[in-house]
Amino acid sequence: MPNSQAIKENIPYLRRFARSLTGTQKSGDAYVRLLLEAAQSDRDLVAQMASGRVGLYGAFCKLQRSGTVAAIGETKAVPLQRQALLLTTMEDFSAAETGEILDVSASDVDTLVAEALAVIDGEGAARVLIIEDEPLISMQLEGLVEDLGHEVCGMAATRDQAVALAEAQGPSLVLADIQLADGSSGIDAVDDILGSANVPVVFITAYPERLLTGERSEPAFLVTKPFHEATVRAAISQALFFAT
């Protein structure tokens, strides 16, 4: 398979990581573009990026650590502990793979993740609005959010319900599905909510690649269905990290 095709297949998922690492679609996608531009004149970098997800993410993290990306604009620095947590949960890398990406040992990764979780355990509670049309998934998310020490301030299955609850309850975080019960869009519901409130949002979808094209307005924080508790936990914490 040509190098360009091998890289292309993994770029959407690198965008997901880059956005969660920087807190915005704009900054995350800008980092990815910078990496691709650098690869145009560096055959060794292309070979590394084409070797698989570990090589691609490793090249990205090395670039992100290099300090050569100031032109992208200021972003809140994410501690190495959080980077390790994102890689092992949202991106599903092993400790050994994460260590290779971050240039640390696998045992160091375990320590970093434990430190990140300790910080999360000490975070304050958020008021969470859940936008989800599947009752079982909605209840699962409700239990998960409450187990993490947050408060569910409302649960909506349609765009109109979501907007009304957001206005009435003033959530400090939104968890949103993409497709809703009446055929409406969770993205449209969130756009309506963000029109009058500045609140972090985590989207949950079975088709993440559709929202990782870099071609339109897309989420900064994205969880793939079926999801694991650790993944949702990391995504919630990262969204709140950038909201403070």
Cα–Cα dist 144/202, whole Å: 14
More confident site: 225 or 210: 225
Classify domain 1-73 at the CATH class level: mainly alpha
The whole-number pLDDT of residue 68 equals 56
Which tokens in the block code for residue 26? Answer: 């704009």
- Residue 1 pLDDT > 50: no
pLDDT average, residue stretch 125-145: 94
Q: Average pLDDT over the chain, rounded to whole?
A: 91
| Cβ atoms within 10 Å of 140's Cβ, excluding its own | 17
The whole-number pLDDT of residue 70 equals 52
Residue type, 8: K
- What are the extents of the domains in the chain? 1-73, 79-122, 123-243
CATH number of 123-243: 3.40.50.2300
Cα–Cα dist 206/125, whole Å: 27
pLDDT average, residue stretch 161-189: 93
Cα–Cα dist 182/69, whole Å: 43
11-15, 113-117, 204-208: the lowest-pLDDT one: 204-208
More confident site: 36 or 72: 36
Three-state secondary structure of the chain:
CCHHHHHHHHHHHHHHHHHHHHCCHHHHHHHHHHHHHHHCCCHHHHHHHHCCHHHHHHHHHHHHHCCCCHHHCCCCCCCHHHHHHHHHCCCCCCHHHHHHHHCCCHHHHHHHHHHHHHHHHCCCCCEEEEECCCHHHHHHHHHHHHHCCCEEEEEECCHHHHHHHHHHHCCCEEEEECECCCCCEHHHHHHHHHCCCCCCEEEEECCHHHHCCCCCCCCCCEEECCCCHHHHHHHHHHHHHHHC
- Residue 219 pLDDT > 90: no
- Residue 157 pLDDT > 70: yes
Cα–Cα dist 178/119, whole Å: 30
Residue 209 pLDDT grade (very low, low, confident, very high; cuts 50, 70, 90):
confident
What are the tens digits of pLDDT across the range 86-130?
Answer: 999 999 999 999 999 999 999 999 999 999 999 998 888 999 999
Which tokens in the block code for residue 82? Answer: 């959080």
175: phi then psi, degrees, rounded to nearest 5: -105, 120
What are the tens digits of pLDDT across the range 65-84?
Answer: 876 555 465 567 899 999 99
